[in-house]
Homo-oligomer: A and B are copies of this chain.
């Protein structure tokens, strides 16, 4: 049987250096199926910073994860080798240097045969990840859970920031817009033409009104309809309502509940996931219970289970 989390009945959950889901820390990816990876970079943030601190806090809160997924009916660590592969040592000062480090790290993960499941960092990190993955897999389907569209072109004259990754990903042909769906969109916007890019490129948008009115099952069906082939999932925690995820940089009221978020990710189990990220957790804006990082840890676990589920066949 592959590596397992420490046994909580003989090693307290709060003991030992914190790793993702209390799995072993491994720099060598030989034989590894899924590499849990932190990208502690928030240099692309336009409002509240702090996402650089998320990988460590998510590691800490993931101590509550147990090895069996009751709702997906799967014990992923029995089937797949999953490890904590550490963090990308991205420069906190230069987005350009950080992008290089991130792309290099993901490329090397993919080369080693492991699927990267990434804890950000702000949303700007998705672009270099997609660059690495698209090189390996070709243009990807993209499932984006988010309150913001993140398809703006620039900020303060800089092309890259946490609001532009998917503008560039489309322009760089890293993702196939016809297989790109955005779920949970809401909030005040800049203007009626904010969706011009989506319309031009044939990107599917399912706003929070449609999610709430149509229901989770219909949303999952829509996701499955649009996505297909090698698929990347990016989960911006601000798709969730601030009540359930206060610890984030650009919160938007009126979002998903934690239950809806969990069920949406479970619904990805049939897709061919080649990588996932969970971004925009900002621990300094969470409360003492750190419920945002706890939710993030659970969503990462659901991603791992969704991958394991498909492998199971």
Contacts and interface: CB of A to CB of B under 8 A. Distances in A.
B294 A89 contact: no
Question: Interface majority SS on A: helix, strand, loop or mixed?
Answer: loop
A90 B289 contact: no
Contacts of A287: 246, 285-289
A112 interface: no
9 contacts: A17-B19, A50-B50, A68-B192, A93-B95, A93-B158, A93-B161, A94-B156, A241-B257, A285-B289
Nearest to A61: B251
A91 to B, nearest CB: 4
Interface in A86-106: 86-95, 97
A173 interface: no
Contacts of A241: 243-244, 257-259
Interface in A1-16: 8-16
A230 interface: no
A70 B286 contact: no
Interface string A156-190: 11101100000000000000000000000111111
A303 to B, nearest CB: 13
A250 interface: yes
A42 B49 contact: yes
Interface residues of A, number: 102
B288 A284 contact: yes
A106 to B, nearest CB: 16
A298 B187 CA distance: 9
A53 B188 contact: no
B190 A71 contact: no
A274 to B, nearest CB: 24
A158 B97 contact: yes
